[in-house]
Structure 1
Amino acid sequence: MYLKKHEKNYAIISFFAQLICAQTPCSNGKAGIYPCKDYDLLSNVPVNILANTNGNPEGSDIWGWTDSTTGKEYAIAAMTNSTAFVDVTDPVNPIFLGRLDSNAGNNYWRDVKVYKDHAFIVADNVGAHGMQVFDLTKLRGLTSAQNFTADVIYNTDFLGSCHNIFINEDSGVAYLVGCKNFRGSRIFNGGPIFVDISDPKNPTKINHYANAGYSHDVQVVKYDGPDTEHKGKEIFIGSNETEVTILDVTDKNNVIKIAEIGYSQTVYTHQGWFTEDQRYFILGDEQDEQKIGMNSRTLVFDFEDLDNPKLSSTYFGPSAAIDHNGYVKGNLFYLANYNAGLRVLDITNISASTNSMTEVGYFDTHPENDATSFNGAWSVYPYFASGNLIINDIERGLFVIRKSGTLGLENQELNKSFSVFPNPASENTIIKSSNNQFVKSVQLYSLLGQKVREENNINSTEYVLNTKGLKKGIYLIKINNLRTSKLVIK
């Protein structure tokens, strides 16, 4: 159903009034107002665009979807009262496509994962919400905001709220954890509920497991790590409040506890992620900074022997900001560090007992401070093929960022033969020869390499390029098919 006319008009006006859409490079430690190191700001969509106006909406989880048919990239931003869908294919000019409202009012947390072109959404601390299933192919071809409805509401066992969801794409099974019934009472001790989602619009419960305690967050893999005894099995790693629990969930009717491991100064075992070789598990304790008084702490466990896991090393960040969700891609660990924003850690040396991780970049979405409080970056999604990263910030909404100097079309500075001014430009920019060399042709490309202007057979020493009507952002200008420079449209 489309937004009501006045709501739609307000959304469009508000969107363009508040969207930070021009790329802001990280220069001298800042991208605009945001502290940064080696990561540029591409765009920001604020909370009041993403969420509906009920209550006091905030940002929470985030995930991404790449359309296998079109190759377009979409951000799925979870809010306290809804889930927003944003086309970020052009990261400098994101398109807000609408939202799916909560089934049961506002809550503090909402989590989402994707499987077979469908989003699976759960919410915590709210009544009869269940699991929403939304067909993401509905986003294809959209250019304006809509209000969406879920395709399926899964609420077997009077499933009300769940803290989290994980999907093992190898098996087509969703793991719902930290769940409660309609009345708000914990079910199955907060342990995992196994749901077959191989047919996304027909989710079917397989079983549940209640003998390992409450799982706050989880990762499940088809195991291909160094422990040959468990190769090929479906292994569940639960961050279970006071310890990490390892389960063999290959047979959902015969779950086997493999091991559990704690660590010193445990406060709240929150969330973790495997390295890509499944040798190390990187874990965050969400409340140790606040309750004990230490800088942001990340623990690395050696899972070479799943039956005998060991603490391998501990990393302390540069501030006392609270660590939240973290994900591995290649040799980098992307950590949403609340008030300290996104921190990027190099884990090439992760096997070392000391200095196992090194901070190599950051983008601080909460410039006010790096205090030990629950503000700022909630989560990050680093898995787009484009290399763009998306962050969901509690107060400031969706950020799209990118590692500095990694544009698909690399810049080759103009030599002294031509000048381009003004730059930044608005309606026009002038290309002028400084040595009587003719400007023969001019092409202008978007950040994604799409040609947006082309003029040929110019044959003049000075040419005025019309840039009126172009979206704000960074473009690449090519002169005589040889020389390229950046052009900023403001």
Structure 2
Amino acid sequence: MNTRFAFTALLLLLSTGLFSQDSQNVILLDNWQDDNLPTISHGIRYNEVWGFVHDGLEYAVIGSTMGTHIFRITDDDTFSEVAFVPGAFQGQVVHRDFHDYKGYLYGTCDQGTSTLQIIDLHLLPDTVELVYNSNELVTTAHNIFIDSTSALAYLAGPSGSPLRIISLEEPTQPTLVNNFFGPVSYVHDLYVRNDTAYLNAANQGLWVVNFADPLNPELLGSLTTYPDQGYNHSGWLSEDSQLYVFADENDGFEMKACDVSDLGNIEVLSTFASNISPNSVPHNLMLKDGIVYVSHYNDGLQIFDLNDPENPERIAWYDTFNGDISYSFNGAWGIYAFLPSGRLLISDRTSGLYLFRMDLTLSTAELKRESSLQVFPNPTSGPLTLRCDLAQITGLRIVNLAGQEVRSLNTTGLWRGDELLLDVGDLPRGLYVIEVRSETEVQHTRVLRY
């Protein structure tokens, strides 16, 4: 028997989730929605999501047609609504956007006679206070991103300019710094770190600009021709600033993973997609520890392993939308993946706010019945505890998704119920399969090293 082929086939089974089309490796913890909120077309009530931590507690934020809803995320994985802040413009709202800084939540709206809102979070967990609600600096803007290192907020797509920069040196008294026009006519979204801004400029591609001197910005690079080029919508930068991942908001267009180590020569390393439908559209995404979390419209939450950026691997998903997919822009709108607990937030345009946890222990209920092998914590940065009910464990090995053995242990002497402590911190980040053997049986499970 070709054991390499057999194990590769098992890896494909474990990694692609042949048993379920709706979810894999994602646990739904809670969902909030309010049917009393007014809808716009296609039954849409909700828009962007954000998360933050205050005094050690985790919070979730979701925008709606009426305003901003703030929730505490409890220890038992539920939403507890804390406050609602009415929007300056209500009703026909497609999008609100949020970012927090120094205990304040900053919110914009892209429709109507709106304002910049600043919400004081210091009274949490009891309440919040709206301390700024003015259109002096901006009426509408599609997105807001705050570079905390320079106390600058970047407003994408404001009325009157492609990009507006305001100072938050006094967090409740923002002041105008500059309007950026540069080489593009519109900035839809952006990511900024240490004054370097990655501008998702819609039909004009990706542009990188240094704003260390915001009055005299410096163009560092651009990517204006690339595979599946369309409406360059949103992106995120890796922790080491070597990889930028972005999405074009077009039917069937794949996301791009780019080498940005040389901004004068940005290179697309790979493209990837959910591949659920020819018309699937990615929307917003976040990149954390080599894992890309995507709000993928009608396909819901989609999660990809990009620790090998030239070979992306879809590892988990949860479809939040069960309606008519003939309209490509229903379903999951926003993603927030940076809560310290590892819990994930998704906003769905019609079904509200979701709380998830990724669990890579096993792919499906069917596989859980076949294998009693448990590893925790999962994902892990290194330390692992392994437990299974085999009568006697005679061997263990760890294999990567290419089918290559990266660790092998002689475990003679371990019996049913025993725990084995492992450390995979020396392995490259990525998804692995752990195989344990007895005299008569072999069991497998997966672990994500982040």
Q: Does 1:209 align with 2:180?
A: yes
The aligned residue for residue 133 of structure 2 is 153
Q: Residue by residue, what CA displacement relative to the aligned partner does 1:89-129 show, whole Å, maximum 9, x if unpaired?
A: 335332112311110223111110111111100010222x1
Task: Tell me, in whole angstroms, the C-alpha distance in 1 between the residues paired with 2:82 and 2:73.
Answer: 10
> How much has 1:86 moved relative to structure 2?
0.8
**What TM-score results when the alignment is normalised by the length of structure 1?**
0.66
2 CA distance for matches of 1:217 and 1:237? Answer: 9
Corresponding residue SS for 1:162: coil
Match of 1:20 in 2: none
Query: 2 CA distance for matches of 1:390 and 1:370?
Result: 22
Q: Does 1:386 align with 2:341?
A: yes
Q: Secondary structure at the match of 1:90?
A: coil
Sequence identity of aligned pairs in percent? 24
Matched residue type, 1:165: I
Give, in whole Å, the separation in 2 of the partners of 1:319 and 1:371: 14
Deviations 1:115-148 (A, max 9, x none): 1111100010222x12100011233235xxxxx6
Change (3 A) 1:110 1:126: same
Aligned to 1:339: 298
Equivalent pair of 1:339/1:371 in contact (CA under 8 Å): no
Could you tell me how far apart the structure 2 residues matched to 1:277 and 1:331 are?
A: 10
- RMSD between aligned residues: 2.7
Per-residue deviation, 1:412: 8.6
Are the structure 2 counterparts of residues 330 and 102 from structure 1 closer, same or farther at C-alpha, using a change threshold of 3 Å?
same
Identify unmatched segments of 5+ residues in structure 1.
1-26, 143-147, 181-186, 223-233, 415-490
Query: Conserved in 2, the CA contact under 8 Å of 1:177 and 1:193?
Result: yes
Consecutive unaligned residues of structure 2, counting only runs of 5 or more, are 1-16, 362-375, 379-384, 390-450
CA distance in 2, matches of 1:411, 1:265: 43
Deviation at 1:155, TM superposition (A): 2.5
Query: Among residues 150, 172, 184, which one is paired with 1:171 in the alignment?
Result: 150
CA distance, structure 2, for counterparts of residue 310 and residue 277 of structure 1: 16
Give the deviation of 1:205 after TM superposition: 1.3
Distance in 1 of aligned mates of 2:322 and 2:38: 25
**C-alpha contact 1:47 1:398 (8 A) present in aligned 2:** no
String of CA shifts for 1:9-44, please: whole Å, max 9, x gaps: xxxxxxxxxxxxxxxxxx9967xxx92111111111
* CA distance 1:273–1:309, shift in 2 (3 Å): same
Aligned twin of 1:198: 169
CA contact (8 A) 1:64 1:384 kept: yes
Q: How far apart are the structure 1 equivalents of 2:326 and 2:173?
A: 45
Which among 77, 93, 106 is matched to residue 120 of structure 1?
Answer: 106
Deviation at 1:369, TM superposition (A): 6.5
In 2: Cα distance, 1:363 partner to 1:260 partner:
34
C-alpha distance in 1 between matches for 2:71 and 2:122: 13
Name the aligned partner's letter for residue 105 of structure 1: Q
Q: 1:369 to 1:57 in 2, by over 3 A?
A: closer
Decide whether aligned partners of structure 1 residues 28 and 90 sit closer, same or farther in structure 2, where only a CA change above 3 A counts.
farther
| Letter paired with 1:102 | G
- 2:141 equivalent in structure 1: 162
Q: 1:156 Cα deviation (Å)?
A: 2.8
Cross-structure match for 2:26: 39
Query: What are the superposed Cα offsets for residues 31-76 of structure 1, whole Å, 9 maximum, x if unpaired?
Result: xxx9211111111111437xx4486661111110101x2x111001
2:330 matches 1:375: yes
Q: 1:277 aligns to what SS in structure 2?
A: coil
Aligned partner letter, 1:150: L
Cα deviation, residue 413, structure 1: 10
| 8 A contact 2:39–2:45 mirrored in 1 | no
Matches within 5 A, 1:10-25: none
Q: Determine the C-alpha separation between the residues in 2 that align with 1:29 and 1:87.
A: 34
Runs in 1 of length 4+ with deviation above 6 angstroms?
410-414
- 2:417 aligns to what? none
Equivalent-residue separation in structure 1 for 2:174 and 2:35 (angstroms): 32
User: 1:177 offset after TM fit, Å?
Assistant: 1.1
Structure 2 CA distance for aligned equivalents of residues 213 and 154 of structure 1: 25
Contact kept? 2:82, 2:126, Cα under 8 Å: no
Equivalent of 2:192, from 204, 209, 220? Answer: 220
Change (3 A) 1:372 1:311: farther
Name the residue aligned to 2:353: 398
Residue of 312, 319, 322 corresponding to 2:269: 312
Bigger Rg over Cα: 1
